[in-house]
Copies of this chain bind each other. A is one copy, B any other.
Amino acid sequence: MISRQDCLARDSDDALAPLRQQFDLPPGVIYLDGNSLGARPVAAVARAQQVIAAEWGHDLIRSWNSAGWFDLPRRLGDRLAPLLGAHAGEVVITDTTSVNLFKALAAALQMQTEDAAHAGRRVIVSERSNFPTDLYMAQGLAAWLDRGYQLRLVDDPAELAQAIDADCAVAMLTHVNYRSGYQHDMAALSAHCHAQGALALWDLAHSAGAVPLDLNGAGADLAVGCTYKYLNGGPGAPAFIWVPERHQGRFRQPLSGWWGHAAPFAMDPAFAPAKGIARALCGTQPIVSLALVECGLDIFAQTNMAAIRHKSLALTDLFIALVEARCANHPLGLVTPREHAQRGSQVSFTHPHGYAVMQALIARGVIGDYREPAIMRFGFTPLYTSFADVWDAVEILRDILDQQSYDIDARRDAVT
């Protein structure tokens, strides 16, 4: 069996290991929650100071032009694009994932309505286990359109192919499940959608910066995602939306604000959508939070998603193997697929006292999180997680379980 010494040796050989120095991680913490909130790039403090003191404080209103604030959603979108398998001019960083999903779903339904062969379709397919806000946004949109749109939710990924049928307008799927870490085959499902005349809309919240993506190659139709998890953009940092060039001409969305206008400063009282990806924009963006997204992207620019994926799988394989070997006498159930192609960059285990065990782990410095029902989630972020971290985290878990040093009456506070 592998030893801690072996883990240290793997860290010595790890080409990504030096990137950890570009993150600020508190001493004594093993941070396995980068799938919820990514760690802070060291550069973020200085970048914030630049934006706040120099751009806002000194240059004031002029910074909309001189510091490029107005172009920031597009410029940062272009920097993110390679991580998504997208082209420049296809991505903007803006608004929230929920709001962007609303735009994308509305646009997809409209695209189908304008296609005579598909205009009658009223079914949106998704998974009951999808992140709830995606379902809520679809429910909100469907109720407001009041044209008979309905959600068809499946309980198992294997049911998707059948559910995406000739009644389906759009399949709205999250590529990597937030709870289980299950990863869909984007190319196969997108192809199945197209064979059935449906459009494939992907939520990449747990994929961007976590797994290699090839949106254009996979034939996806639209995508949204978040920058504050694996991309390390900061708490609640603005989200992204991808509209491939082939769909941009007919992409229309109801949140038609001035940043999406063809001539935003002409002050014309009638809306006319901008050419290209800018039509996915709406209103004025929170510049300080938006600017910090670049600090995370700067770190990704020093490596590539193939290297990140290689290490991610090694970390999650190691974690699964060590937990199953060293905590074998405890009632832990692996939720995350063993098969690499079906695994994101997290590992989830059930435990009857999952919430209490997670609280005990956090108290010992191993920060993961808990999701109903009974699931402990551990995110593995190759930019700042080492093999020795994995060893140490499992040892602390083993000790907590062996000693039963967790409070089974722990109150479940709000956690995100």
Contact A415 B64 (CB under 8 A): yes
4 cross-chain pairs, A with B, having the tightest CB-CB distances, nearest first? A96-B283, A98-B283, A286-B289, A140-B256
Contact residues on A (Cβ < 8 Å of other chain), bracket: 35 or more
Distance in Å from the Cβ of A178 to the closest Cβ of chain B? 9
Contact B141 A254 (CB under 8 A): yes
Q: Does A89 contact B (CB under 8 A)?
A: no
Q: Does A181 contact B (CB under 8 A)?
A: no
- Among the stretches A157-165, A194-202, A367-375, the one at the interface with B is A367-375
| CA distance in complex: A48, B130 (Å) | 34
| CA distance in complex: A63, B26 (Å) | 14
Q: Give chain B residues whose Cβ lies under 8 Å from the Cβ of A153.
A: 269
Contact A52 B45 (CB under 8 A): yes
Distance in Å from the Cβ of A412 to the closest Cβ of chain B? 8
Distance in Å from the Cβ of A65 to the closest Cβ of chain B? 6
Interface residues of A in 103-149 (CB under 8 A from B): 106, 128, 130, 132-133, 135-137, 139-141, 143-147
Q: Does A261 contact B (CB under 8 A)?
A: yes
| CA distance in complex: A265, B372 (Å) | 9
1/0 per position for A50-67, CB-CB distance to B under 8 A? 011101111111111100
Distance in Å from the Cβ of A201 to the closest Cβ of chain B? 16
When the two chains form the complex, which single residue of B48, B135, B253 contacts A288, counting CB atoms closer than 8 Å? B48
Q: Give chain B residues whose Cβ lies under 8 Å from the Cβ of A239.
A: 283
Distance in Å from the Cβ of A48 to the closest Cβ of chain B? 5
Q: Give chain B residues whose Cβ lies under 8 Å from the Cβ of A415.
A: 64-65, 265
Q: A64-B416, A139-B270, A234-B287 are in contact. List 10 more A-B contacts (CB 8 A).
A: A24-B57, A37-B60, A70-B416, A133-B283, A135-B269, A235-B287, A239-B283, A265-B415, A286-B289, A286-B290
> For residue A109, which residue of chain B has the nearest CB?
B144
> For residue A285, which residue of chain B has the nearest CB?
B236
Q: Give chain B residues whose Cβ lies under 8 Å from the Cβ of A172.
A: none
Q: Does A228 contact B (CB under 8 A)?
A: yes
Contact A60 B31 (CB under 8 A): yes
Contact A40 B61 (CB under 8 A): no
| CA distance in complex: A49, B99 (Å) | 28
| CA distance in complex: A211, B269 (Å) | 26
Q: Does A19 contact B (CB under 8 A)?
A: no
Contact B136 A265 (CB under 8 A): no
Distance in Å from the Cβ of A185 to the closest Cβ of chain B? 23
Q: Does A16 contact B (CB under 8 A)?
A: no
Q: Give chain B residues whose Cβ lies under 8 Å from the Cβ of A65.
A: 413-415
1/0 per position for A282-309, CB-CB distance to B under 8 A? 1111111110100000000000000000
Contact A416 B61 (CB under 8 A): yes
Contact B286 A286 (CB under 8 A): yes
Contact A61 B369 (CB under 8 A): yes
Q: Does A277 contact B (CB under 8 A)?
A: no
When the two chains form the complex, which single residue of B40, B52, B136, B265 contacts A40, counting CB atoms closer than 8 Å? B52
Contact A257 B56 (CB under 8 A): no
Contact A286 B236 (CB under 8 A): yes
| CA distance in complex: A413, B144 (Å) | 39
Contact A26 B137 (CB under 8 A): no
- 14 A-B contacts (beta carbon < 8 Å): A26-B58, A29-B60, A44-B56, A45-B53, A64-B415, A65-B413, A132-B267, A132-B269, A139-B256, A140-B254, A146-B147, A236-B285, A237-B286, A265-B415
Q: Does A39 contact B (CB under 8 A)?
A: yes
Q: Does A36 contact B (CB under 8 A)?
A: yes
> For residue A151, which residue of chain B has the nearest CB?
B269
Q: Does A258 contact B (CB under 8 A)?
A: yes
Contact B45 A49 (CB under 8 A): yes
| CA distance in complex: A267, B60 (Å) | 42
